[in-house]
Structure 1
C-alpha cells in the first residue's frame, strides 16, 4: 500500500485527486509490441521526407488530406469490447445519462475497418466533433441533437436514416448495443450526401521527447458517482511509454484485432454538468474553461483547459501546452455539486 502524502491532495471543486494505491485486480492482456513536413534520419543518412499527422503528430510517408470522422461509440458494459477505438487519434469520454459514459472517437490518421457499437447523439458531442470539422456519425439523437442535425449544423450520417443499409446490426449483440458501420460505408454515405472528405483539420501542437515535470502517476483512476461499471483505470506501460486503459477491471482492447488501446496523452478536465430533463440528459459547459490534469510519460501535472475554436486544449498560466506525439484521450468529469466522483493516482 502506497503511503498517503499530504502534498498530493488536490481538490477540483466536488472532485478530489489523491495519491493512493488500488487493491482491485486488473486483468491484463499480453503486452504487444499531415501538415508540417519533417526529415527522418536513420543511421545518419537522410531518407525521404515525411509528414506529421495533424491530430497525432506522428510521422507519415504521405501528407494526409483526410477529413476527420467522429463516431459516437457505446460504452455500456454490454457493448464492450468495442471495435475501432485503438485506431482513434482523439477520444472524448463524457457522461450521457446517469453514470453512463460514451465515447466520441475521432479518426483521421488511421480509419478503422469497422467501428461500433454506434450510439445516439447529444448536443455537446456534436459541438466537440465540430471543433475538428468532422463528419459526425451516430445512431439516434436527443431532441436537441436532432434539431442541430436537421438544421445542418454539422455534416452527419445517422443510423435512424440508414439502419440496415450503411449501418448494420451485429448478430452477437442485442439492440441498442449492436449497431456498426464500416469505413467503406462511411465513404459511401459521404459520397451520397455530397460531403467533402478531402479536408484535413488544422494541426495540433506536438513536442518530441523531453523531461516532463510533475508528480509520478503510474496508475490513474477515474470514478463516476462510485459506479464500478464505469470506473476507468489508466496504467502506465513504461516499455511502451504509453498508458493502457481498463474499464471495470478489463483492459480496453479492439473486439476484432484484440489490439489494446494505448494512449500518449491523458487529459482530465473538469466541467459544469446540469441535469436538464426527466430522462437525465445533461447540459455540459464546454465554454468556460477550468481546472484539468495532463498526464504524460508517467507524470501528472495540474493545468487548465480552454475551448479554442471548439477544441478542448491544455493551458498552463495562459500558455498552450503541447501534446506528446500519439493518441489523446480526454475524460470529462463533473464539477457540479451532487454530481460527484473522484480522480486518484499512485506513484
Structure 2
C-alpha cells in the first residue's frame, strides 16, 4: 500500500545551429532550404536518480510516506514474526533481562499485517522521535506510558485499541498474539490526527551502485549473543553471489510468516551502548546519546567504527565524524551492552 515514491525527471534539448551570411536572396533561400532538410540534433535524455531515504535503493517515485515504527515481539513464542521482511531497517535491543525486541521501521513499503506487536520502552519512544516516525506499540513501561501520554511522538497503542485497531490471533497466546494491519495503522493515524507525510530527512550515506567498499577484515560469518540463552543467539552469514547476509536465530532461519521469505540484509551493524537495569522486572535503560564503539558488517568485511547520535538517531560514523557509507539495501542494527562489550558478545569466522 505504501510503495516508495520517486519522481523521474527527464530533460531533452534539441539545438539547431545556422551559420554564415548570404550575398543575395537566392543563395539565402538555398541555404535555409538545406538547413531545414537536416535532422535536429537531440541531446540524450538525462534522468535524475532518486533513492529511498532509509535504504539508498533506486526507486521510481519520490518517497512521501512518513516512517512508521512498530515494536515487534521477539520472544521465542512470537516467532516467526509477520511483516518484518518489508521493513527498511530493523533495530534489535534488550527490553528486559536478556530478551530482545525489534523496532521495525517502514517507509518504502508497508506490509498487509505486522506482529506480534509488543509494548513500548522509553528508548523505543526516543528512537521513534528521532525518526519523526508514527509509532505503534501494544503496552508500555511506566516511563514510556508517561512519554506517550504526553505525545512525545504521534502514536497509537494496543492498550487503547485492543480488539479494534489491534487484533488477536487465535493460534498464539497473549501477550504474543497482537497484530495490526496496514489499513488500521492508517486508520489509527487519522483517529489521532497524525500526518503521514514525510517531512524530515534522515541522515545516512550510501555507496553508489558501482561502488563496492571493502574495508576491514574479511569475514564470512558473525554470531552475536544476548546472554546465555540459545534463543537469542543470532548468526549472519555472507552470500558472495547476492552480496547479502542471511540471518538465523537459535539456529533457525529468520523468515517472514506473512510471505514465507527468508530475510536478507545489505548491512548488519552493532552499536555498543551503556545499559542499566532499572527495576525488579529487569527492564533496561539504554543510553542512546553518548556514542561509542561500533562494528559494521558489509560486503563480506567487518570493521570497527564509531556511533554517534545525530539528530536523535544513533548513526554509524567514521573516526573523522563522517557518516559510514552503507550498501544500498535493508539493514539490521543491534544495540548491545557496553559491558561485557562487543568483543565478548560477537564472534566471527573468516
Q: Same fold (TM over 0.5)?
A: yes
How many angstroms apart in 1 are the aligned matches of 2:247 and 2:185? 27
The answer for the alignment partner of 1:54 in structure 2 is 53
The answer for the alignment partner of 2:283 in structure 1 is 281
Query: Counterparts in 2 of 1:67-146, with a 5 A limit?
Result: 67-146=66-145
How many angstroms apart in 1 are the aligned matches of 2:246 and 2:121? 27
Tell me if structure 1 keeps the 8 A contact 2:336–2:342.
no
How many angstroms apart in 2 are the aligned matches of 1:161 and 1:83? 22
Residues 168-210 of structure 1: per-residue CA shift (max 9 Å, x gap): 0011111100000011100011111110001254142211232
Find 1:323's aligned residue among 311, 326, 346: 326
SS at match of 2:50: strand
How many angstroms apart in 2 are the aligned matches of 1:74 and 1:198? 27
CA shift at 1:35, angstroms?
7.5
The answer for the alignment partner of 1:294 in structure 2 is 296
Greater relative CO (CA pairs within 8 A, separation 6+): 1
The answer for the alignment partner of 2:19 in structure 1 is none
Greater percentage in strand: 1
The answer for the alignment partner of 1:150 in structure 2 is 149
Does residue 207 of structure 1 match 2:210?
Answer: no
Tell me if structure 2 keeps the 8 A contact 1:268–1:332.
yes
Tell me if structure 2 keeps the 8 A contact 1:50–1:62.
no
SS at match of 1:60: coil
CA shift at 1:328, angstroms?
1.4
How many angstroms apart in 2 are the aligned matches of 1:343 and 1:239? 24
Residues 80-115 of structure 1: per-residue CA shift (max 9 Å, x gap): 110111111111100011110000000001111111
Tell me if structure 1 keeps the 8 A contact 2:236–2:246.
yes
Larger radius of gyration between Structure 1 and Structure 2: 2
Q: How many residues align?
A: 309
User: Which segment drifts farther, 142-151 or 234-243?
Assistant: 234-243
How many angstroms apart in 2 are the aligned matches of 1:141 and 1:159? 10
Tell me if structure 2 keeps the 8 A contact 1:221–1:231.
yes
Query: Counterparts in 2 of 1:35-54, with a 5 A limit?
Result: 49-54=48-53
CA separation of 1:127 and 1:320: change in aligned 2, threshold 3 A: same
CA shift at 1:47, angstroms?
8.1
The answer for the alignment partner of 2:241 in structure 1 is 239
How many angstroms apart in 1 are the aligned matches of 2:174 and 2:47? 49
Find 1:332's aligned residue among 319, 335, 340: 335
User: Which segment drifts farther, 133-142 or 251-260?
Assistant: 251-260
How many angstroms apart in 1 are the aligned matches of 2:270 and 2:74? 18
How many angstroms apart in 1 are the aligned matches of 2:288 and 2:71? 18
CA shift at 1:122, angstroms?
0.2
Aligned-pair Cα RMSD in Å: 2.0
Give me the TM-score of the superposition, normalised by structure 1.
Answer: 0.85
Tell me if structure 2 keeps the 8 A contact 1:68–1:200.
no
How many angstroms apart in 2 are the aligned matches of 1:211 and 1:344? 22
CA separation of 1:337 and 1:324: change in aligned 2, threshold 3 A: closer
How many angstroms apart in 2 are the aligned matches of 1:341 and 1:84? 32
The answer for the alignment partner of 2:258 in structure 1 is 256
The answer for the alignment partner of 2:305 in structure 1 is 303
